[in-house]
């Protein structure tokens, strides 16, 4: 057995200039970030059948990894700046005229596509937001004379930015200087989180955009090996997905998440030494026939193998000689007689047929067109399976007729194939 990617020209000039500006703007302003995930079976944790987020963290989770590990979230920092288009006035009536932040906290779904055309679904939501605001010395803005600027930051906004306004939630992160304050807020729902200035703020800037996110990836055991790619685009700016009010305008109007899910499946079969040579014998051996003349009921042999599998696969066999019923044949080289050889397979727990039923003594046929298809319920690591070889009872009388030779031989190639 073998296992086997003038005026006229002036007008023309101005038209060309406008077209060039229009064409260049999206490229200059668009912000793209890559999110990668990997599935590779781990024999140490065979029941963990999930993608691992391999995106290098930046921003909040890079600085405070224990917070993200506890909440099973990830964070990224992108160089999108927000600049105030006008002064923020003290006690402004509308939250949109000051510091307000809304992020897309609801689940969004996107398709990721394999090079074969196979499509799977990924879900994502934003779970937190942060940045560092920069302005004039807050002690000057508030008239506070304390050397420590913390009190002046509190006076400017009525409360420290480490405390998130509802419905955003405190994250425990806050660091400050007289002209800046770094913050991060958790965002459990898609609603505005507002800060009202208590003094006039001539100008305000957010230096970057931090966000944390949560992913739900598909079941990798049902996916093809290779890369699945897709993207999800969020709008940024007033009334966009990332909405920072009417005063704070972003350096980029869109933020695109580009996804790459890498699936690295395992399909490995190990045959014990000597297992490639199968000798069929009666139950109890040949002594009853040799000593008492009792004809064997059947000839058989069970050959074990160890299989590791994390994806769908198919099995079929190729025969040196085949019958019309797609079984293999054994040939007596002396009398030129042939007898039918039936082959069955039993697979370990965790591997089922495509209807989810256990595989117990399932009959195999020769040829790829007659392949059997199987799927894992979880990653199976070096679990034992069995190939059952049998000359059935119906062939025994013919096989033992006078004139038959002493040996019947034939080759059977069993194929495990992950290309389904």
Comparing 48-57, 224-233, 392-401, which segment has the lowest mean pLDDT? 392-401
Of the two residues 27 and 165, the one the predictor is more confident about is 165
- CA 191-193-195 angle, to 5 degrees, is 155
Contacts by 148-155, CB closer than 8 A, 24 or more apart: 149/176, 149/177, 149/178, 150/176, 152/178, 153/181, 155/198, 155/199
Give the integer Cα–Cα distance in Å for 389 and 12: 82
pLDDT band for 21, please (50, 70, 90 cuts).
very low
User: What's the pLDDT score for residue 43?
Assistant: 84
Of the two residues 196 and 44, the one the predictor is more confident about is 196
pLDDT digits (tens, 9 = 90+) for 339-376: 899 999 999 999 999 999 999 999 999 999 999 999 99
Name the nearest CA neighbour of 236 among 103, 140, 47, 356: 103
pLDDT digits (tens, 9 = 90+) for 64-102: 888 788 777 789 999 999 999 999 999 999 999 999 999
Tell me the mean pLDDT in the region 96-119.
Answer: 96
Burial state string for 363-391 with b = 16 or more CB within 10 A and e = fewer than 16: ebbbeeeebbebbbeebbbebebebbbbb
Q: Write down the residue that tokens 């993608």 correspond to.
A: 51
User: What's the pLDDT score for residue 287?
Assistant: 65
- Measured in whole angstroms, the distance separating CA 84 from the mean position of its chain's CA atoms is 39
Intervals of CATH 2.60.40 along the chain: 267-417
pLDDT digits (tens, 9 = 90+) for 267-300: 999 999 988 899 988 876 776 665 556 677 788 9
Report the percentage of the chain scoring pLDDT > 70: 90
Give the integer Cα–Cα distance in Å for 289 and 280: 14
Tell me the mean pLDDT in the region 213-241.
Answer: 95
Mention the CATH class of domain 267-417: mainly beta
User: What's the pLDDT score for residue 239?
Assistant: 96
Model pTM above 0.85: no
Give the integer Cα–Cα distance in Å for 335 and 289: 21
pLDDT band for 27, please (50, 70, 90 cuts).
very low
Q: What is the mean pLDDT of the chain?
A: 88
pLDDT digits (tens, 9 = 90+) for 371-398: 999 999 999 999 999 999 999 888 887 7
Q: What is the bridge-based pairing of β-strands 254-263 and 31-39?
A: parallel
pLDDT digits (tens, 9 = 90+) for 249-270: 999 999 999 999 999 999 999 9
| Contact (Cβ atoms closer than 8 angstroms) between residue 185 and residue 172 | no
């Amino acid at each position: 057995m073998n296992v086997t990617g003038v005026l006229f020209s002036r007008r023309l000039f101005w038209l060309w200039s406008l077209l060039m500006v229009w064409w260049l703007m999206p490229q200059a302003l668009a912000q793209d970030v890559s999110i990668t995930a990997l599935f590779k079976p781990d024999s140490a944790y065979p029941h963990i059948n999930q993608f691992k987020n391999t995106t290098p963290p930046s921003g909040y989770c890079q600085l405070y990894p224990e917070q993200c590990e506890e909440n099973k979230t990830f964070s990224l920092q992108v160089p999108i700046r927000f600049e105030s288009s006008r002064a923020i006035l003290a006690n402004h009536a509308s939250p949109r005229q000051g510091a307000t932040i809304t992020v897309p906290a609801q689940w969004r779904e996107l398709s990721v596509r394999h090079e074969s055309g196979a499509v799977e679904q990924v879900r994502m939501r934003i779970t937190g937001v942060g940045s560092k605001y920069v302005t004039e010395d807050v002690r000057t803005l508030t008239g506070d004379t304390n050397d420590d600027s913390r009190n002046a930051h509190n006076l400017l906004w009525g409360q420290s930015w480490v405390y998130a306004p509802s419905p955003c939630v405190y994250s425990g992160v806050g660091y400050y200087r007289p002209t800046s304050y770094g913050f991060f807020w958790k965002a459990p729902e898609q609603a505005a989180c507002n800060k009202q200035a208590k003094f006039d703020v001539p100008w305000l800037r957010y230096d970057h955009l931090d966000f944390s996110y949560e992913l739900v990836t598909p079941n990798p055991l049902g996916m093809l090996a290779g890369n699945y790619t897709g993207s999800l685009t969020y709008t940024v700016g007033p009334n966009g997905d990332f909405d920072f009010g009417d005063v704070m305008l972003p350096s980029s109007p869109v933020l695109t998440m580009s996804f790459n899910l890498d699936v690295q499946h395992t399909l490995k079969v190990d045959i014990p030494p000597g297992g490639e040579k199968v000798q069929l014998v009666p139950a109890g051996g040949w002594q009853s026939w040799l000593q008492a003349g009792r004809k064997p009921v059947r000839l058989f042999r069970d050959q074990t193998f160890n299989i590791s599998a994390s994806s769908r696969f198919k099995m079929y066999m190729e025969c040196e000689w085949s019958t019309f019923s797609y079984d293999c044949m054994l040939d007596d080289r002396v009398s030129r007689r042939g007898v039918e050889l039936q082959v069955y397979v039993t697979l370990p727990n965790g591997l089922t047929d495509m209807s989810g039923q256990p595989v117990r003594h399932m009959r195999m046929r020769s040829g790829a067109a007659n392949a059997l298809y199987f799927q894992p319920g979880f990653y199976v690591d070096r679990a034992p399976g069995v190939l059952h070889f049998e000359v059935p009872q119906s062939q025994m009388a013919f096989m033992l007729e006078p004139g038959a030779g002493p040996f019947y031989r034939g080759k059977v190639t069993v194929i495990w194939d992950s290309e389904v």
